[in-house]
Amino acid sequence: MAAILDVQNLTKKYGDFEAVKEISFAVEEGEVFGLLGPNGAGKTTTISMLTGVLPPTSGTALIGGYDIRTQMEQAKQLNGLVPQDLALYPTLSARANLDFFGRIYGLRGRALRERVEDVLRIVSLTERADQPIETFSGGMKRRVNIAAGLVHQPKLLFLDEPTVGVDPQSRNHIFESVQRLNRERGMSIIYTSHYMEEVELLCSRAAIIDEGRIIAMDTIKNLIGMLGGGVIYLGLPRVDADLLAQIAALPAVKEALAAEPALPAEGEPAVPRADGAVVKIVAEQNQQALVNVIGWLNAQDIALTSLEILEPNLESVFLHLTGKKLRE
Amino acid sequence: MRALHIARKDLLILFKDRGTLVQLLLLPLIFIVVFSGALSAVSAGNESGDGQDTRIPLAVVDLDGSALAQRFVADLDAAGGVRVERRAQDEALALLAERKLPRVLTIPAGFGADLDADRPVTLHLVNHPDADLEQTEAVRLVIEGVAQDLSLEYQILASLEQMAEMQANAPEASQIFSGERMIAQAQSQFERSRTQPLIAVAERVPQIAEREADEFPDAVQLAVPAFTVLFVFLTAQTTARSIYEEKRIGSFRRLLAAPLSKAALLAGKMLPNFVTALIQTAVIFAFGLVGLRLMGLQPLSLGESPGGVILVAAATALCSSGLGILIAALARTETQIGGLSSLILWGAGILGGSFVPLFILERFLGSLPRVVPHYWANRAFENLLIRGLGLSSVTAELGALLVFTALFFAVGLWRFSFD
């Protein structure tokens, strides 16, 4: 399939601060692609550059073959943006809001009316269409927010954290709408979120972004597969290279690493810590690895001071890759 | 074209915001009624003296000082309708020039001697161009009445004295001055006093320079355009607030992501301000023309060039729209918008003659008021509405407003943060 979006070394700097650092990725037509990362990772800045809200400092992107640095006006016709904020006019009705956003994309007359009715149906708000937005619940406002990004039938829809502050019922409704748009209308979607379960549910591929860089990008299955069968954190009185090698050699253990403190460089003595050390074990299968490791530690008379088990998911992948939690 | 959709949307939002509508449309009318009413009352008070004596004031300069002149002044004051205020000549003319006196009557030197000698004399009534015409006419009639009485008295007395003298010198003439003859003589003198009065009144309106003419404009002619200018420029903050609100709720990002140039986006945000300012001007002027009349106040006059008034209103509205973009560019927070608007819009309103007439401001501020667009708008309206001049008289003012507009828009565009 052809790429609807091809991002090449896109960078955004504010003075000396690099908000987005030479990121590159591509999105196929009809794909739902996730951008996963904590707040401040650079997701919204990336979307802002791709939608023409911000000019890139360097690099570029092709949207439907149009270069965003030289053909942004054409690229904008293909884009639909659903910003993180409720970018609506609260005193106007849902219909008046959608009518306005349709008009600024060049829709008129009957075509406009039909499109407004269509998107109202998609977000199930036909009944409340003529009431002011300010009378709506948070979830309903989110749905109108999405409808406003759809009214001109974009080929590529950017959904920037569309479920922030939404009740579970409206969240499910948004998920269904995204899946239906992709499945029934073949719309390509870029979905940003710091909720890993949303990206796991909706996206076929995702890029994990942190501090302006893409640190991993693959299918969701492969990303989670990076952790094998899961991750185990063990608190021990001390750690050294020999201990790590012996743990890594146990059955069902894929890898053993010193999480805290880092191992000293070769030839340098280990610095003991009063609160001991943390060993990170990447397992092929969490439960089996745990049984084997604890048995071995008992046999070696090494006391276990703490234990944390992470099931394989994008949250643990992010923690594995960055040492930080997604919602920090 | 897409800018029009933004403008239409903003107007829809504006017309749903009653608070802003009150501020834009009702507040200027309240200002105008209060100021016009107060100034008219002061003006009326000036016209009627101390407010208890309703007679029309008339300053009299007596250059003669004779008993006859004093008697004439006393007769004038006693005639009813006119309240005589004796003044020295220099003082009276200075007050007249400043419109602190509406009219001055001068009794020439030699008034008494000339009348005694049966020589005609001329009194001089000088009216300020802005003096009430009906009152001037009433004053003139009173003066002429008193002058005619005195003329008649003098002419008849002089005739009788002449007859008595002739009779004394020639007793045989007693047959000549019969009763019938004396009556005929009196009638003849009476007729002469009417057609060739001994005391004539010459009336003139001095050629007061333009600078002087605008010193005491009518309260309504002053207040309506001045507050129109003030409030039209105050709508500039509506543009700034609207842009700030779009940024706050995030819809500005959505507009930037739409196939819409930045210039069209800003034009779309300027246009509602322009339309609102025009509506505001139309409402205020309509109120000045009709509403003030219904309230018993003197209505506004559009002068000799209604087309010129429309052009100045449009240029002022455009300038206000440019200023809105500038404020939106300079202020990043709602508090900054409020502060900057107060500083720029109210400050410039005060400096530009919306509260104090320009001729007073310029006396102690020199040419400083010219640095604000309000000054040029107010000056243009003064030329058209107060001085009654035509469109050609406001070319410079229109040019200045357009230069300000271009400057505000250029700096606004340069400093505007689209991020």
Chain segment A55-67, per-residue pLDDT in tens:
999 999 999 999 9
Task: Give B2's contacts in chain A (Cβ within 8 Å).
Answer: 103-104, 106
Q: What is the mean pLDDT of residues A208-223?
A: 91
Chain segment A79-127, per-residue pLDDT in tens:
999 998 889 999 999 999 999 999 999 999 999 999 999 999 988 899 9
Looking at residue B190, its pLDDT comes to 67
Q: Do B254 and A101 touch (CB under 8 A)?
A: yes
A73–B contact, CB cutoff 8 A: yes
For residue A124, the distance in angstroms to the closest alpha carbon of chain B comes to 22
Looking at residue A207, its pLDDT comes to 94
Query: What is the percent of chain A with per-residue pLDDT over 70, rounded to a whole number?
Result: 94
Residue B36 has pLDDT above 90, yes or no: no
Residue A267 has pLDDT above 60, yes or no: no
Q: What is the mean pLDDT of residues B241-245?
A: 89
Nearest chain A residue to B247 by CA distance is A87
Chain segment B360-372, per-residue pLDDT in tens:
788 778 888 899 9
Looking at residue A104, its pLDDT comes to 92
Nearest chain B residue to A98 by CA distance is B9
Looking at residue A270, its pLDDT comes to 52
- Closest Cα to residue B124, out of B141, B108, B144, B147? B108
* Average pLDDT in chain B: 81
Residue B253 has pLDDT above 50, yes or no: yes
Looking at residue B215, its pLDDT comes to 47
Q: Do A85 and B257 touch (CB under 8 A)?
A: no
Contact B235, B323 (CB under 8 A): no
Q: Got the DSSP string for A151-219?
A: TT--SEEEEESTTTT--HHHHHHHHHHHHHHHHHH--EEEEEES-HHHHHHH-SEEEEEETTEEEEEEE
Q: Do A91 and B5 touch (CB under 8 A)?
A: no
Contact A271, A264 (CB under 8 A): yes
* Average pLDDT in chain A: 88
Chain segment B179-220, per-residue pLDDT in tens:
677 677 667 766 766 677 778 888 877 654 444 444 456 777
Instruction: Give the Cα separation of B231 and B320 in Å (integer).
Output: 10
Report chain A's C-alpha Rg in angstroms: 24
Instruction: Give the Cα separation of A311 and B306 in Å (integer).
Output: 81
Looking at residue B37, its pLDDT comes to 66
Question: Distances from the Cα of B136 to the Cαs of A179, A238, B298, in angstroms?
Answer: 88, 112, 19
Instruction: Give the Cα separation of A325 and A317 in Å (integer).
Output: 10
| Partner-chain residue, chosen from B2, B6, B254, that has the shortest CB–CB distance to A83 | B254
Structure tokens at A4: 């609807």
Instruction: Give the Cα separation of A90 and A135 in Å (integer).
Output: 8
Contact B391, B308 (CB under 8 A): yes
| Partner-chain residue, chosen from B8, B13, B259, that has the shortest CB–CB distance to A73 | B259
Looking at residue A272, its pLDDT comes to 52
Q: What is the mean pLDDT of residues B16-36?
A: 75
- DSSP for residue B1: -
A153–B contact, CB cutoff 8 A: no
Chain segment A23-49, per-residue pLDDT in tens:
999 999 999 999 988 888 899 999 999
Sheet holding A17-28, edge to edge: A17-28, A3-14, A58-63, A66-67
- The neighbour count for residue B356, using CB atoms within 10 Å, is 15
Chain segment B128-172, per-residue pLDDT in tens:
777 777 788 888 888 888 888 888 777 777 777 777 777 777 766
For residue B274, the distance in angstroms to the closest alpha carbon of chain A comes to 20
Instruction: Look up residue B253 and give its amino acid.
Output: R
SS3 annotation, B37-51: HHHHHHHHHHHCCCC
Contact A120, A155 (CB under 8 A): no
For residue A127, the distance in angstroms to the closest alpha carbon of chain B comes to 22
For residue B242, the distance in angstroms to the closest alpha carbon of chain A comes to 11
Q: What residues form DSSP beta bridges with A307?
A: A234
Sheet holding A277-283, edge to edge: A253-260, A277-283, A230-236, A306-310
Structure tokens at B214: 């605008």
Contact B55, B142 (CB under 8 A): no
Nearest chain A residue to B4 by CA distance is A104
A164–B contact, CB cutoff 8 A: no
For residue A90, which phi and psi values (nearest 5 degrees)?
-65, -30
Of A71-75, A285-289, A290-294, the one with minimum mean pLDDT is A285-289
Tell how far CA A28 is from the center of its chain.
17
Contact B66, B74 (CB under 8 A): no
Residue A269 has pLDDT above 70, yes or no: no
Of A164-178, A281-295, A302-316, B28-42, the one with minimum mean pLDDT is B28-42
Nearest chain B residue to A148 by CA distance is B254
For residue A72, the distance in angstroms to the closest alpha carbon of chain B comes to 8
pTM of the predicted model as reported, rounded to 2 decimal places: 0.67
Residue A242 has pLDDT above 60, yes or no: yes
Chain segment A128-164, per-residue pLDDT in tens:
999 999 999 888 999 999 999 999 999 999 999 888 8
Instruction: Residue window 30-59, chain A: list those with CB within 8 Å of chain B.
Output: 48, 51-54
Task: Give A103's contacts in chain B (Cβ within 8 Å).
Answer: 2, 5
Q: What is the mean pLDDT of residues B104-130?
A: 84
Angle CA B16–B17–B22, to nearest 5: 120
Chain B residues bordering chain A (beta-carbon distance below 8 Å): 2, 5-6, 8-9, 12-13, 16-17, 249-251, 253-260, 418-419
- Kindly give the residue spans of alpha helices, DSSP state H, lying in chain A: 43-50, 72-78, 94-104, 109-122, 138-150, 168-185, 196-202, 220-225, 241-248, 286-299, 314-322
A138–B contact, CB cutoff 8 A: no
Structure tokens at B249: 């709720």
Q: Do B256 and A53 touch (CB under 8 A)?
A: yes
Residue B263 has pLDDT above 70, yes or no: yes
Length of chain B, in residues: 419
Q: What is the mean pLDDT of residues B56-68?
A: 88
Q: Do A92 and B419 touch (CB under 8 A)?
A: no
> Residue A262: which pLDDT band, with cuts at 50, 70 and 90?
low
Tell how far CA B282 is from the center of its chain.
20
Q: What is the mean pLDDT of residues B53-69?
A: 85
A84–B contact, CB cutoff 8 A: yes
Of A10-14, A28-32, B254-258, B382-386, the one with minimum mean pLDDT is B382-386
Question: What do you get for the CA distance between the two ends of chain B, in Å?
Answer: 24
For residue A83, the distance in angstroms to the closest alpha carbon of chain B comes to 7
Q: Do A76 and B17 touch (CB under 8 A)?
A: no
| Residues 6+ away with beta carbon under 8 Å from B216 | B98, B99, B130
Instruction: Give the Cα separation of A264 and A241 in Å (integer).
Output: 9
Residue B382 has pLDDT above 60, yes or no: yes
Tokens 């407004």 — which residue? A116
| Residues 6+ away with beta carbon under 8 Å from B266 | B325, B409, B412, B413, B416
Contact A187, A181 (CB under 8 A): yes
Question: Distances from the Cα of B175 to the Cαs of B166, B167, B170, in angstroms?
Answer: 12, 9, 11
For residue A201, the distance in angstroms to the closest alpha carbon of chain B comes to 27
Residue A232 has pLDDT above 50, yes or no: yes
Residue B35 has pLDDT above 50, yes or no: yes
Q: Do A87 and B250 touch (CB under 8 A)?
A: yes
> Residue A266: which pLDDT band, with cuts at 50, 70 and 90?
low
Task: Give A91's contacts in chain B (Cβ within 8 Å).
Answer: 13, 16-17
ipTM of the complex: 0.79
Chain segment B268-314, per-residue pLDDT in tens:
888 888 999 999 999 999 988 888 888 877 788 888 888 999 999 99
